[in-house]
Structure 1
Amino acid sequence: MADVGSSAVCTFIALLRICSVIADSVVVSTTSGDVQGYEFQTSSIGSPAFDRIYVFKGIPYAAPPTGDLRFRPPQDPTPWEGIRDASSFGDKCAQQPSTYPMQPEAAPLYGEFWNHENISASEDCLNLNVYTHNVYVLANQPVMVWIHGGSFTQGTGSSYPGEVLAAHHNVVLVTINYRLGHFGFLPTLEDDAPGNFGFRDQIKALQWVQANIRNFGGDPERVTIFGESSGGHSVALLVMSPMATGLFHRAISQSGAGLLPARQQGDVTATEAVASAVGCATTPYGEMMSCLRGKPAEDILEAGSPAVFPLPVIDGHFLMDNPKDLVRKKKLNRIDYLLGTNNDEYGWMLSIRNLYVDGLSAAEFQARMPNDLFFVGLTYPEGNTSALIPAVVHEYLDSVDTDDPFAIRDQYFQFKTDMGFLASTALMVEAQSALPVRVYQYEFQHRSSIFPFKPDSVKAEHLDELFYVFGIPLLREDSSWKLPFTDQERDLSLDIMAYWVNFANNGDPNNYSGAACLRDSVDWPRYKPSSKHYMKLDLTSSSDTDLRGDRMKFWNKVVPKLMGEDESTSGVLQLSWSIWSFAIPLAYFLCNI
């Protein structure tokens, strides 16, 4: 593998651009100007393949979406003269201050990974970060572009450390910001972009990657997008979007499959609600938008309401139809896809904490159903959700001792996990695997040893796999490990990073061609409709078939029929409410994932 020494100079003949590494900094050319990153010594990372990597932070990929550019598609950044310093993170996108994590005992651990309160927030936030061990223009490393989670209302790409992944693998890692909340998703009446601004930002970042990543040692013909939670949903929506065709070649969705409810183009009721909240008249439309574009960002941020939760718009550009219908009709980009969930998504972070104390009675389980199933009625207006309650109770309580409140509680959380996460993922897996592409499904099952503050009943919950994907167990501090993961957990992290990068490199998590080092990992079988293989990711990983098959038949076959849908749409329509079953709570308290 060609590399660059401390005084090397490489000439990018195709574009007649020059990249150079001098002392402990590195300068790379982009289409907007030169950027200077820095050299990061990897001695603080366990078992790295490379003794140093190069890091570039806060590179603008679009113009600040402020003033008249607020609520408009992203525009090209203004070119700069000279060399731009890329040693510090840029601003994160405008968002409310985080109150996460909720409980003090979780703060030191989760704060180590996701705490971004020290990063300033503004609307001038459309920037990205690049991590690479090789800036040689002919290095042709696979590229992985991370789309962060946070309920589409909070978060930043800068809070996900890319150093470990880049230090272990021949890969260029890019983490991006995109507009959030009202700034990213309020619908408008503009023809070119009636909403979806956050998704359009993601498209713009991918276009920047295509134009520039070769100068950072990456191969623009091998770009993999990956993300978790709302980032996973973003990945799936990009898989559905014709605007994204050709901008990436593989995809990984973690705990999010994109089957979100969507607004129809022209529906600006959410925008009118925000306008009223900040003192803008709602008519005429042009004056409303002019007023909104002139308001301070703080006023827009404070105009929060579940009624205006961020949702995609069927705009005829980014999104051509309801996600559920695109999946049903298999109108998807033909790319290799790896996706999955955790086996207890609703275990602690997303759960109702007081249920752990005394558990639930069967009567309490049933009493919660009307609220949990409320959005079924919105999706199936001809159906009757009260008729669905006995079926749900039968599905989840017939197999447990109804005198055991803790068993009932556990089934309640499994009900939430199945309905809110797994059912939609199962449908996306089925749809994509019917195309001539490779699909791999997983369930992450390991409860990490570093969570003693969580109840014993909690298994692998929402966002737990992120520690392993980004190599957090491998961080060192002086001569010891930074966090008290076990050696087995460090091996699990090495395995998962290898699976992810192998997939990005070759479309197969088992294929180590081009890898910096090999591992004796368990073979991960490809998912096919006939076999339904998936991988159980754990300290001792293994493959299995038909993940929660009976439960998925319940949600994707039985429920639609009970709600009056015919077989031609069974298994798809219910997804417009499955995400809503947890979307509104996320808008309030799950804002750092």
Structure 2
Amino acid sequence: MGRRAGKTSGVGDVVVLAALLGLAGGVVVPTTYGDVNGVELPTSFIGGAVFDRIYTFKGIPYAAPPVGDLRWRPPQDPAGWTGVRDAAQFGARCPQVADIQAPPGSPLNELVTYRSNSSSEDCLFLNVYTPNVSSAADLPVMLWLHGGGMGLGTADTYPAEIPTSLNNVVMVTINYRLGNLGFLPTRDAETDGNVGLMDMAKALQWVQANIWNFGGDPNRVTIFGQSGGAWGVSLLVMSPETRGLYRRAISQSGVAGIPTSRRGDTTKTETLAASLNCTTTSFDDMMSCLRSKPALDLLTYDPTVPIVGGRFLPDGLWDLMYKKQVNEVDYLLGTNNDDYGYGLLAAVPQVTADGLDRTVFEEILPAQLKYVADQFPGGNVDSIVQPTIDQYMDSDSDDPIYTREQFIELMTDSWFAAPTVLMAQAEAAHGDSRVYQYEFQHRTSVFSERPSYTKADHGDELHYMFGIPLLRDDTGASWKYSFTQEERDLSLNMMAYWVNFAANGDPSDSTGAARMRDLVTWPRYMTSSQSYLKLDVTSSADVRLRESNMKFWNEEVPRLLGKDVKTSGAEKSTWSFLLVAFSAVVSLLQ
């Protein structure tokens, strides 16, 4: 880290150049491929903004269009350009199977509404948001990986201009190839099929070479993401191919305890080829045929899975975490206390306002647990059904409300909390890595349509991380949404924790902050204490998040599914995760 390859001018030179070119309100910054002209954005629409303006640079290509023969190939350098490239508009988003929509008037629209004009396979663009384009600013850098199960989503829906206007930080958001275009098993030893992950690494290489000219410090790069983007973060942390490209990592509701494909197993690719009338007798001819097909014809509703056993991911994901074979980086990671409490629960229609019948619970459980068993090659789901019932259910209870509560907790633990704890333990085992765990617990007031039993649902923390409660309406005189003042404070606190961590490796260390906050001290997660922060309007520290359940999913279940596991205690023993946005989209399409 720390290369200054792109550093060619300071802010004074940039402003003079903009004036000479007649670019009113813009600012020109050099990159290794050519100069880009960004937009000076006033921040009056953001309540309490520290900076009265920031600079945005959109649609910057960080790799060549992955089309034609470059489809399913490692990302290549983009072509350079002469003159100044306009960076006022987002580049095209990557092709995907469906759009995600929110109810009219919902603040969720601020996070899912497309701001790009089109979808195209030529989509490897990034966006930079900065309060200071001086190459001497040396601000921490945060690179965002969007969610959507690595099969949906786009960088342009996330309003990174809001946290940038409130904090001393440079933010970068990126597109990466999705679904079968980003994760199709091949026999290419260079990729193993993980080209979507390679896109993420390529964007980080661009940041290392260029971010200094945008006010960022390449020695303080943090990768962060939510849901499928959090999977991406954890996969980069597991990959020896990404060492040195970032210093810190943040995973929000997602660590990649997910099913995978094994290097060399091209069954999925052959099935896709057969459905498109491509030959499967010759691998090279099959790939040539698939490369000739329109991008949208290649996308399916199958869950997106990474490929393990090759260069990028040398072993199974559980094995990499359990064996502590992860890159030594500072890591902040956590979950929401009802990550499976509302949106994802729509995929399980048996759960209703009246609860969940005990008999029905036991009938649907094997299908729900198959996702867990599929993470362990050769594992039999039947071996974990009864132990899961024993772990979560009182033997004589048939109360449907209780059964629903236990089902939600079971799914939240297995898909989200347990893999997060396993990764925290893996990273904390490296003594120099600073680890911080959280559980977001706030039930957001503006979501009045939510049932009373839902607390902090999957994705709720995004509103606070991206400052949605601080948006002003069109007049600038009133708040756009009816969040409470406590919730606006929670948003400011959460952004401060995240940026402090990116800047200093400690979410409680406000050194260099643009605004000081009176924050509850966030204790470091250690393998011995296992401390975490209960993140809420009034936050507090605790230890050993649902310890018995975590041991069940991280020790007993893998053992039952064929792993050699050394248990860490004698508590009741009795793992994880599906496509987040994928489940929601499928339920909407049914």
**TM-score between the two structures when normalised by the length of structure 1:** 0.91
Aligned pairs for 1:12-23 within 5 A: 15=8, 18-20=13-15, 22=19, 23=24
CA contact (8 A) 1:374 1:385 kept: yes
- Alpha carbons of structure 1 residues 564 and 212: separation in structure 2 relative to 1, 3 Å: closer
Q: Distance in 1 between matches of 2:36 and 2:135?
A: 15
State yes or no: 1:425 paired with 2:426: no
| Residue among 468, 475, 498 paired with 2:464 | 468
Report 1:59-138 matches (<5 A).
59-101=60-102, 104=103, 108-116=106-114, 119-138=117-136
Taking the aligned partners of 1:14 and 1:111, their CA distance within structure 2 comes to 37
CA shift, 1:511, in A, is: 0.5
The answer to whether residue 315 in structure 2 is matched with residue 321 in structure 1 is yes
What displacement does 1:331 show?
1.5
Flag the 1:260–1:326 CA change in 2: closer, same or farther, 3 A. same
**Match of residue 442 from structure 2:** 446
The 1:166–1:454 alpha-carbon spacing in structure 2 relative to 1, beyond 3 Å, is: same
1:457 partnered with 2:450: no
Closer/same/farther in 2, CA of residues 61 and 584 from structure 1, 3 Å limit: closer
Give the deviation of 1:516 after TM superposition: 0.6
1:361 aligns with 2:357: yes
The 1:200–1:434 alpha-carbon spacing in structure 2 relative to 1, beyond 3 Å, is: same
**CA deviation vs aligned residue, 1:456-496 (integer Å, no higher than 9, x gap):** 11000100000000111101112111111110000000000
The residue that corresponds to 1:344 in the other structure is: 338
Partner residue, 1:332: 326
CA distance in 2, matches of 1:488, 1:543: 19
Match among 542, 546, 551 for residue 540 of structure 2? 542
Is the 2:148–2:579 Cα contact (8 Å) retained in structure 1? no
Pair 1:305–1:465, CA change in 2 (3 A): closer
**SS at structure 1 position matched to 2:492:** helix
Aligned-partner residue type, residue 161 of structure 2: E
Deviation of 1:19 after TM superposition, in Å, equals 2.5
- Judging changes above 3 Å, is the alpha-carbon distance between structure 1 residues 12 and 149 closer, same or farther for their aligned structure 2 residues? closer
Conservation of the 8 A alpha-carbon contact between 1:150 and 1:590? no
Give the 3 Å change call, closer, same or farther, for CA 294–150 of structure 1 in structure 2.
same
**Deviation string, structure 1 residues 541-565 (Cα, Å, up to 9, x no partner):** 1010101111112222232344454
Mind listing any 5+ residue stretches in structure 2 that lack a counterpart? 570-574
Aligned to 2:572: none
One-letter amino acid matched to 1:269: T
Structure 1's unaligned 5+ residue stretches are: 1-10, 572-576
Q: Percentage identity across aligned positions?
A: 52
Contact 2:227 2:580 in 1 (8 A): no
The count of aligned residue pairs is 568
Report the Cα offset of residue 373 of structure 1.
Answer: 2.0
Q: Does residue 312 of the first structure (1) align with residue 279 of the second (2)?
A: no
CA distance 1:24–1:446, shift in 2 (3 Å): same
TM-score by length of 2: 0.92
Aligned counterpart, 1:8:
none
When residues 360 and 521 of structure 1 are mapped into structure 2, their CA distance, relative to the original with a 3 A threshold, is same
Pairwise CA distance, 1:119? 3.4
Q: Please give the alpha-carbon distance, in whole angstroms, between the structure 1 residues aligned to 2:533 and 2:544.
A: 10
Contact 2:6 2:31 in 1 (8 A): no
| In structure 1, C-alpha distance between the alignment counterparts of 2:333 and 2:515, rounded to whole Å | 24
Matches of 1:504 and 1:569 in 2, distance apart? 34
Shift of 1:314: 2.4
Matching residue's letter, 2:339 = E
| C-alpha displacement of 1:377 | 4.7
> 3-state DSSP class of the match of 2:352?
helix
Q: Aligned match of 1:496 in 494, 501, 506?
A: 494
Query: Secondary structure of the residue that 1:49 maps to in structure 2?
Result: coil
Distance in structure 1 (CA, Å) of the matches to 2:212 and 2:295? 36
**Aligned CA distance change for structure 1 residues 581 and 200 (closer, same or farther; 3 Å):** closer
Distance 1:294-1:562 versus aligned 2 partners, 3 A rule: closer
Partner of 1:7: none
How big is the shift at 1:365? 1.4
Residues 289 and 33 of structure 1, relative CA distance in 2, 3 Å threshold? same
**What residue identity is the alignment partner of 1:277?**
S
Match of 1:15, as an amino acid? T
Partner of 2:141: 143
For residues 268 and 12 of structure 1, the distance between their equivalents in structure 2, rounded to whole angstroms, comes to: 40
Aligned partner of 1:246 in structure 2 is 244
The 3 A distance-change label for structure 1 pair 59 and 376 is closer
TM-fit CA distance, 1:407:
1.8
> Which whole-Å CA distance do the structure 2 matches of 1:569 and 1:183 have between them?
40
Structure 2 CA distance, aligned partners of 1:379 and 1:297?
29
1:191 positional shift: 2.1
Tell me how far 1:311 sits from its aligned partner. Answer: 1.4
Give the aligned partner of residue 164 of structure 1: 162
- Do the aligned partners of 1:100 and 1:590 also contact (CA within 8 Å) in 2? no
For 1:90 and 1:426, how far apart are their aligned partners in 2? 36
Q: Following TM superposition, by how much is the alpha carbon of 1:328 offset from its aligned partner in structure 2, in angstroms?
A: 1.9
Is the 8 Å Cα contact of residues 148 and 231 (structure 1) preserved in structure 2? yes
CA distance in 1, matches of 2:30, 2:417: 43
8 Å Cα contact 2:58/2:126 also seen in 1: yes
Counting only pairs closer than 5 Å after superposition, residues 487-526 of structure 1 correspond to structure 2 as 487-526=485-524
Structure 1 residue matching 2:555: 3-state secondary structure: helix
Equivalent residues of 1:195, 1:315 under 8 A apart:
no
Q: Please list the CA deviations of residues 321-370 of structure 1 after superposition, one character each: whole Å capped at 9, or x if unmatched.
A: 11222112212111100000000001111003552322112212111222
CA-CA distance at 1:566 after TM superposition = 3.1
Distance change (3 Å), C-alpha of 1:118 and 1:216: closer
CA shift in 2, pair 1:590/1:148, >3 Å = farther
Per the TM alignment, residue 581 of structure 1 is displaced from its structure 2 partner at its CA by 8.7
Q: Which structure 2 residues correspond to residues 21-32 of structure 1 after superposition, within 5 A?
A: 22=19, 23-32=24-33
Structure 2 SS opposite 1:199:
helix
Say whether the 8 Å CA contact 1:12–1:19 is kept in structure 2.
no
2:181 match = 183
Change (3 A) 1:375 1:298: closer
Q: Describe the shift of the 1:561–1:195 C-alpha distance in structure 2 as closer, same or farther (beyond 3 A).
A: closer
TM-fit CA distance, 1:237: 0.8
